[in-house]
Structure 1
Amino acid sequence: MLTVEQAADRLAVSRTTMFALMKDKVVPSVLVGRYRRVPADELTAYIERLIAEAGRC
Structure 2
Amino acid sequence: MTTVTPELLTVPEVMMRLRLGRSTVYDLIRSGRLVSITVGRSRRIPVDALRDFITREIKEAA
TM-score of the aligned structures, taking structure 1 as reference length: 0.89
Q: Shift of residue 18 of structure 1?
A: 0.3
Partner of 1:20: 27
Larger Rg over CA atoms: 2
Q: Shift of residue 9 of structure 1?
A: 1.2
Q: 1:54 aligns with which of 48, 51, 61?
A: 61
TM-score of the aligned structures, taking structure 2 as reference length: 0.82
Partner of 2:36: 29
Identify unmatched segments of 5+ residues in structure 1. Answer: none
Alpha-carbon RMSD: 0.8
SS in 2 for 1:6: helix
Q: Which runs of 4+ in 1 moved over 6 A?
A: none
Give the residue type in structure 2 aligned to 1:24.
Answer: S
Identify unmatched segments of 5+ residues in structure 2. Answer: 1-7
Identity of aligned residues (%): 40
Q: Return the structure number with greater helix share.
A: 1
